[in-house]
Amino acid sequence: MHELSIATQLMDQVLRVAGENDAGRVVEVEVHCGVMQQVVPEALEMAFEAVAAGTVAEGSRLVIVEDAMRARCRVCGHEYEPNIDDFLCPKCSQANAELLVGQDIVLQTVICETEDRAKL
């Protein structure tokens, strides 16, 4: 349900990057989503399309990559890859995980065409 607010913030960043690079058109955007954000790819794609309308990013392709989680056990310090339904530390069997990867959403790359190219 929160995909629209994610898409809105993402588009702000994409348009800023496009502006900084004198882009006439954005072709592709790659974003990495942490599992704990529970992003529904189809919903994010729809929201992205909606907020891209009328901008240089209209019609661009959104590539969504889900990163594996990584956590550090607060009890024994062991680093491991938990699953969304199982955070037990393989070393001490406690589920007291500090997430290192898996909570954020990160804009990775923007592929764009410069003004001149876009006019061709």
Query: Counting contacts by CB under 8 A, is residue 31 touching other proteins?
Result: yes
Tell me how far, at minimum, the Cβ of 78 lies from other proteins, in Å: 14
The amino acid at residue 48 is F
Least gap, CB of 59 to other proteins (angstroms):
17
Cβ atoms of 118 and 25 within 8 Å: the answer is yes
Which residues, in sequence order, are CB contacts of 80 under 8 Å at separation 6+? Answer: 70, 71, 73, 89, 90, 91
Q: Does 115 bind other proteins (CB under 8 A)?
A: no
Positions 64 through 83 that interact with other proteins (CB under 8 A): 74
| CA-to-CA separations, 10 to 2, 34, 51, 87, in angstroms, rounded | 12, 14, 9, 29
Residues making contact with other proteins (CB under 8 A): 1-2, 5-6, 9-10, 12-13, 17, 21, 23, 31, 36-38, 74, 84-88, 94-97, 99, 103-114
